[in-house]
Amino acid sequence: QVLAERHLARLFEALDGQGEEIRIAGGAVRDALLGTVPDEIDLATTALPDEIVRRAEAAGLKPVPTGIEHGTVTVVVDGRPFEVTTLRRDVETDGRHAVVAFGRDWEEDAKRRDFTINGLFLDREGQVHDFIGGKSDIEARRIRFIGDATTRIREDYLRILRFFRFFARYADGDPDEEALHAAIAEREGLLNLSRERIRVELLKTLAARRAADAFDILSETGLFGLVTGGIARLSRLRRLWELEQILGRRPDPVLRLAAVGLFVEDDAERLRERLRLSNEEAGRLRALAGPPFDASGEASSKVLLYRLGAPTYDGRVMLGWIDAGASPMDFAWRDRLTLPERWTAPRFPIGGTDLSRWGVDKGPEMGSLLKALEERWIAAGFPDDMDFGAELARIRG
């Protein structure tokens, strides 16, 4: 099915044959065997990067040397990019990144990959090349390291977190014992990794089907505390997951991070710093960390929706719902959740120009007066006929 991707034929035409071979590699083969359509198709080849570029150009394709020092050339076929990487073998490692050399041996390339499910190749004829027992692990939905787990983790400690990510996404049953023991024993190695790399893995784990199971283990084994400096609220993550299933929601990793990682508002700042969250992620987390949702009525829900905007409001309602211990069927909470479908928060109708007209000079005072007027307008229930001139006179005494 993955071979039916229409751009691939041109890629194979250009790069396969005449002494070189190219095969689909890694995640795309795994996803194809699981019956899902991969978003990205990466390929591996015996050809050296210069040869990839030469052949791609000769075939009228666009090669972009995106990671030439690692042997990766992105070949664009009619607008669709494919990462094509020369076969590699590990030569040494510093525990943060494996150092590799080019090779021509498919088995060696498979063996330096992390997990058996990620170590398969698929050739142009549809034949799967499995040097490491990946096919049976995919069928059994089992995540195992290729080779000795401890050795593989010591080469690159990020693999501890990658193990939990792939477990959360694909595995059935309990985690592989050997991998789990090695992950626990080697956990201190996580402290040397860049926080960006940790963030990527944790957010991807949170987005996965079995995020709650993976975070149970991350928490029990002390790994969660090690990388986030905090304590996990596991029951909250599990309840969020249940609610998402019942409501038919797609997983939202930042909301799940808020569910598992926030007790008080300060947690948002700590997570931002520890995980180098983007400004957008950190902003959402801070907004989700506010005081418990005031569920007393529609008016207070409207105020919250106005202040937070629909996406964050939605998250706060979900967290409030969980924290209140209400049933996923609870009518009142469902009603709160659907408020954005019934009511669009109005825009505050006045600005600095109006205030200038009423004799207020530009400066800090203007800002605080605008804020005060906005608060009165909110408190009055967002009327569209408020006499702001009169309100202003009242505020200024």
User: What distance in Å separates the CA atoms of residue 322 and residue 226, rounded to the nearest whole number?
Assistant: 26
User: d(Cα 175, Cα 185) in Å, to the nearest integer?
Assistant: 15
Query: Which tokens is 391 given?
Result: 């309100």
Stretch touching ligand ATP by CB under 6 A, among 155-163, 180-188, 283-291, 375-383: 155-163
Hey, is 20 helix, strand or coil? strand
Among 15, 158, 202, 268, binds ligand ATP (CB under 6 A): 158
Give per-residue burial for 333-366: e unless 16+ CB within 10 Å, then b.
beebbebbeeeebeeeebeeeebeeeebeeeeee
Of 10, 27, 150, 303, which lies in the binding site for ligand ATP, with binding defined by CB under 6 A? 27
Site map for ligand ATP, 199-238, x if CB under 6 A? Answer: -----x----------------------------------
338-377 positions binding ligand ATP, by CB under 6 A: none
Select from 262, 259, 354, 339 the least CA-distant residue to 306. 339
How many residues line the site for ligand ATP (CB under 6 A)? Answer: 11
Tokens 């207020």 belong to residue: 360
The verdict on 26 binding ligand ATP (CB under 6 A) reads yes
Exactly one of 114, 176, 252, 267 binds ligand ATP (CB under 6 A); which one? 114
Amino acid code (one letter) for 360: V
Q: Choose one: 153-161, 226-234, 241-249, 292-300; the region binding ligand ATP (CB under 6 A).
A: 153-161
Using the rule CB under 6 A, is 109 a contact of ligand ATP? no
- Piece of the chain touching ligand ATP by CB under 6 A; list 132-140, 154-162, 275-283, 292-300: 154-162
Q: CA-CA distance, 197 to 212, in Å (whole number)?
A: 21
Nearest approach in angstroms of CB 29 to ligand ATP is: 9
Calpha distance 304→288 (Å, rounded): 11
CB of 170 to ligand ATP, least distance (A): 10
Cβ closest to ligand ATP, residue 169 vs residue 239: 169
Q: Kind of pairing, strands 121-122 and 72-77?
A: unpaired
CB-nearer residue toward ligand ATP: 134 or 261: 134
- Cα–Cα distance list, 256 to 41, 58, 240, 284, 337 (Å): 28, 48, 7, 12, 17
Contact 377, 348 (CB under 8 A): yes
Which SS3 state, helix, strand or coil, does residue 83 take?
A: strand
Q: How far is the CB of 27 from ligand ATP (least distance, A)?
A: 3
Nearer to ligand ATP, 109 or 267 (CB): 109
* H/E segment holding residue 66: strand 62-67
Position among 159, 199, 238, 284 found at the interface with ligand ATP (CB under 6 A): 159
Integer angstrom CA distances of residue 208 from 60, 166, 179, 204: 39, 8, 19, 7
Binding status of residue 113 toward ligand ATP by CB under 6 A? yes
Question: Least separation, in Å, of the C-beta of 41 and ligand ATP?
Answer: 10
For ligand ATP, the closer of residues 122 and 262 by Cβ is 122
Q: Of 134-142, 152-160, 302-310, 363-371, which part binds ligand ATP (CB under 6 A)?
A: 152-160
81 binding ligand ATP? (CB under 6 A) = no
Residue placing its CB nearer to ligand ATP in the complex, 147 or 229: 147
Angle between helix 265-274 and 279-288 (nearest 10): 160
Q: How far is the CB of 173 from ligand ATP (least distance, A)?
A: 20
CB closer to ligand ATP, 40 vs 50 = 40
Tokens 């890694």 found at: 26
Residues that bind ligand ATP in the complex, under the rule CB under 6 A = 26-27, 40, 113-114, 118, 156, 158-159, 162, 204
